[in-house]
Amino acid sequence: MSVPLKTGQQLVPIAKFRPSMRGFDCEVIVLETALPTTTRDGQTIHTFLVADRTGSIMMNIWGNDGKFIRNGDIIRIENAESKLFKGFLQLTTARFGKIKRVGEDTMLFKDHPNFSELQWVTEEESLAMAAPEDGHH
């Protein structure tokens, strides 16, 4: 049940995701599903552990789209975003993103490294960590 790519469409592998990347397409398999959570303003967030051949990442889907996703689903996301949440990278859909189920259970993947377990720091934080604590050189 493979769905062909659109002409010129490129899929970005998880290992290439960076904080604040927007408007890219990717294809992942769903490994685990967490219970949905509800924000203070009543929005539902569905959270999944997803993977491709380069690693895994946590994916958040806002609203009703997430309730139809199951473990083993292979989904293609168009107009995806990768964002930092509390210093950890996550995959989500942009406001006009599309999620499409393109298969199930038959995708090569690696669950490690999990890119949502790696802490990202800003350049300023990195420099501050490298600076001597007492201010002397």
117: left (phi over 0), alpha (psi -120 to 50) or beta: alpha
Cα 59 from chain centre: 4
Tell me how far apart the alpha carbons of residues 92 and 133 are, in angstroms, rounded to a whole number. Answer: 38
Written as tens digits, the pLDDT of the chain (137 aa) is 467 777 777 899 999 999 889 999 999 999 999 989 998 998 899 999 999 999 999 999 988 888 889 999 999 999 999 998 888 889 998 777 889 888 888 777 777 777 777 666 555 665 565 655 555 55
Whether residue 21 contacts residue 82, with contact meaning beta carbons closer than 8 Å, is answered with yes
Structure tokens at 5: 């790519």
Are 73 and 99 in contact, with CB atoms under 8 Å apart? Answer: no
